[in-house]
Chains A and B, each alone.
Chain A
Amino acid sequence: MSKKSKNFLRGIKDTIPLMIPVVPFGIIFGVLAIDLGLTPLTTIAMSVIIFGGASQIIFLQLFSAGASSLIILSSVGAVNSRHLLYGTVLSEHLSDLKLTWKIIVSYFLVDQAFAVSNDYFKKNKKDKDKHFHLIGGGLNCWMIWQITTIIGIFLGSIIPEKLGLTFAIPLTFLALLVNDFRKLINVITIFVSGSIATLGYQIIPFKAYVIVAAIFGLCVAFILTSFIKKKNYE
């Protein structure tokens, strides 16, 4: 098997456990969109064109509340601003790629694919075809997202709200962080960012609390790492 397909398949495999919450999330999105009066075709177009769960839900919330296009666009931008940091982190590994590959990789740069490929890239720095790992992981997310959107559109609310499956979303991200709970600076960063996001949720406009909290967290990590020698916390 070529290195490309090996990386591609590994990306799919690594993202499989992360698909548990994507299934109910996609179905919920499909149900909501139809409930709010979008046509099935517009709903599918949204999952293909935007391809981002949080952005699509925000879009629906604001659109149904009659918000102006400018508010919707800036809120989607704010929700997506975390991708700027994902791109910054991964760019080191992707800067030698041709423009076409950069465009393809960018389309698939979703949270789950970032999380697994960030680790994979660090461990396989020399591999020229490592971007296939992200494409595999991203494509896996893409397939599940489109299929579940369609299921949501046509089956309606088959998943009872009482099951609380939306709780699977924070759990996935928690699962991605468990190794960071072993390191002091990471734990401090986690609690700073988490507290600011929770307290700022209502106050910070345009749902920008994620990026505001992340920047605070990074500043704290920057300050702490400047003072503490690496050997003390690893």
Chain B
Amino acid sequence: MNSLLLIILCGVVTFLTRFSMIALLKKEMFNNRIREVLSYVPSAIFPAIIFPAIFLDSSGSFLFEDNPKILASIIAVIVGMLSNNILATIVAGLSTYWFLIFI
């Protein structure tokens, strides 16, 4: 298949995953119980992006020992909880990581 056509198809798939629920669901379908469970969506999705990026190397193997990302992430969470500031959290994590790999 032509690569531009494949890109367009992938774009359509991506758009449909973003659009379908917004188009289909009506606000009358929501009740407090559904809202309560849906409030856990960030807690359910983001770790699935975070954890593999911290604990796996680029080939997908586990990396527990000698992994500066683990300590850097813990520091980031602590700084985040104390400061409540997104930027401070990212900067704390990155600078800890750099400190550990360069020094």
Chain B interface helix/strand/loop/mixed: helix
Q: Is the CB of B48 within 8 A of A193?
A: yes
Q: Is the CB of A92 within 8 A of B90?
A: no
For residue A81, CB closer than 8 A to chain B, the reply is yes
Interface string of B61-103 (1 = CB under 8 A from A): 0100000010011001100110010110110011001100100
CA distance A136 to B65 in the complex (A): 42
Q: Is the CB of A218 within 8 A of B50?
A: no
Q: Is the CB of B25 within 8 A of A91?
A: yes
Once A77-B17, A193-B47 are accepted as A-B contacts, the answer to whether A49 and B97 lie under 8 Å apart by CB is: no
Once A92-B25, A95-B27, A102-B22 are accepted as A-B contacts, the answer to whether A167 and B13 lie under 8 Å apart by CB is: no
For residue A51, CB closer than 8 A to chain B, the reply is yes
Q: Is the CB of A176 within 8 A of B46?
A: yes
Q: How many of chain A's residues have a CB under 8 angstroms from any CB in B?
A: 94
Q: Is the CB of B21 within 8 A of A87?
A: yes
Q: How many of chain B's residues have a CB under 8 angstroms from any CB in A?
A: 64
Q: Is the CB of B44 within 8 A of A175?
A: no
Q: What residues of A have a CB within 8 angstroms of the CB of B48 in the complex? A: 193-194, 196-197, 209-211, 213-214, 217
A185 is contacted by which of B40, B60, B76 (Cβ under 8 Å)?
A: B40
Once A17-B90, A193-B44 are accepted as A-B contacts, the answer to whether A91 and B56 lie under 8 Å apart by CB is: no
B14 is contacted by which of A17, A55, A96, A182 (Cβ under 8 Å)?
A: A55
Shortest distance between the CB of B80 and any CB in chain A (Å)? 3
CA distance A153 to B74 in the complex (A): 35
Q: Is the CB of B90 within 8 A of A168?
A: yes
Q: Mark A residues whose CB is within 8 Å of B.
A: 17-18, 20-21, 38, 42, 45-46, 49-52, 54-55, 59, 63, 69, 72-73, 76-77, 80-96, 99, 102-103, 105-107, 109, 111, 115, 118, 162-164, 166-182, 185-186, 189-191, 193-198, 201-202, 209-211, 213-218, 221-222, 225, 230
Further pairs besides A42-B7, A164-B97: 16, Cβ < 8 Å: A17-B90, A45-B7, A46-B7, A49-B11, A50-B14, A69-B1, A85-B38, A96-B27, A106-B18, A162-B101, A166-B53, A171-B72, A174-B73, A217-B43, A221-B44, A225-B37
